[in-house]
Structure 1
């Protein structure tokens, strides 16, 4: 099996001078987490099937969220419709050739802490023909004959936040603990959802100003004996964890097979699954399955 057999194609593209808002729209429209960046302008939606496509960068949902915070003040004050992709993209992306093996792709992804590799024709021909992502590798793994169980590869460290914690608190916990995912619990410490860096990025991108999301709350009073509510005002308040968490939460037992975990990740397009046996015992991440590919 080669990279060319499992890669994704076509690859959706964006020009470096196009606004972040267009990247957001493409990601939402096609249900993808990354775009390959090219230099020349595009007058219509283009993919890797377009002629002469040379990748100069990659932009992911997480790039947009994190690098806006790190950008120069002049960019942070602008709405995302006025900020070019060049401000947040990763330049000169690592690439791979179509005849490389899935294991080689897995090693490059893990060693460089990235989630996708543009596939180019050859060393002398850098035209883009596809992309191989963690999801593609997990899909490949799900077809293998393997008896490894979740307990063998899961991570026991995890971070929880209460469903009513602020988004700022969620971001702080994820950054300070260097995790990509946090578990949302209720008053009984039972898991009710999950928040990932992608969730944070997408909710930030729905705000035209690029800031943290907020919501409108209607303030009401009981004006009649029958309990009819009459709305008096609308107040804008900050969102909390339960407003952006992904639900329902998907769980597995520590004795479940890793093949089953891989199939769920592919079907649900998620990068982590909570491991629960009476209580939360760990998380199996996409990277753990990528590591299993290398270990074979």
Structure 2
């Protein structure tokens, strides 16, 4: 899945000469945690709520309220922003965005096009939405996990068995990262079945394959 399908395109930005006070107000008012910083139409930095908190006077300050407001109004974003922020392009994958965020310990990335123009922003929340979409959890609450031989056709055998018992598959995820050598871990999510049918399916699957677990997710309490 590509970043352009999940990023926010209506991006609120600030000029590099914007005051700390205004940036704080914008973030609070719009319930956002970061703002791309622009100069003459170009992206020059990014400011986060953490940057603003770290630059703000501590609660132990001896400044009175008027001095405090003056200070916040005088400090410019360009003095505390992260310059030359890490960016990503809209036609890169959401998976790569997740890796970039993880490796660089950031929770959001400005998205720029081939002309280095800001076209959006992608955040951890967007990554979560994409992950939930991939898993299909809203469409099926039952997940089976298998340890299957890493060979052609092994997943099809399981899928065929699921369908023979009336199961409707909504997603299949596969990984070798945490699997025993020569196997792969496969996660199959299906639509909910009547309890008796689900029990029969689970029994058959455990007889024919190596089932790691079966979980029935309940979203009503979320």
TM-score normalised by length of structure 2: 0.55
Distance 2:110 2:90 in 1: 10
For 2:42, the equivalent position in structure 1 comes to 54
For 1:134, the equivalent position in structure 2 comes to 124
Distance 1:259 1:2 in 2: 29
SS of match in other structure, 2:134: coil
SS of match in other structure, 1:58: strand
| CA RMSD of superposed structures (Å) | 3.1
Distance 1:148 1:60 in 2: 40
Larger Rg: 2
Could you say if the C-alpha distance between residues 83 and 31 of structure 1 is closer, same or farther in structure 2, counting changes exceeding 3 Å? Answer: same
Q: Is the 8 A contact 1:142 1:259 kept in 2?
A: no
Q: Is the 8 A contact 2:15 2:38 kept in 1?
A: yes
Return 5+ residue gaps in structure 2 as ranges. 59-67, 138-142, 146-213
Deviation of 1:258 after TM superposition, in Å, equals 9.0
Q: Is the 8 A contact 1:148 1:258 kept in 2?
A: no
Distance 2:129 2:36 in 1: 21
1:94 matched to 2:86? The reply is: yes
For 1:5, the equivalent position in structure 2 comes to 5
1:65 matched to 2:53? The reply is: yes
Distance 1:259 1:103 in 2: 27
Deviation of 1:79 after TM superposition, in Å, equals 2.2
Could you say if the C-alpha distance between residues 258 and 121 of structure 1 is closer, same or farther in structure 2, counting changes exceeding 3 Å? Answer: farther
Distance 2:34 2:77 in 1: 12
For 2:103, the equivalent position in structure 1 comes to 111
For 1:27, the equivalent position in structure 2 comes to 27
Aligned residues: 138
Deviations 1:40-71 (A, max 9, x none): 4xxxxxxxxxxxx321100010011124479x
Deviation of 1:32 after TM superposition, in Å, equals 0.7
Could you say if the C-alpha distance between residues 99 and 21 of structure 1 is closer, same or farther in structure 2, counting changes exceeding 3 Å? Answer: same
Alignment of 1:144-155 (within 5 A): 144-145=134-135, 147=143
TM-score normalised by length of structure 1: 0.42
Return 5+ residue gaps in structure 1 as ranges. 41-52, 71-75, 150-254, 265-296
Q: Is the 8 A contact 1:34 1:60 kept in 2?
A: yes
Deviation of 1:148 after TM superposition, in Å, equals 9.4
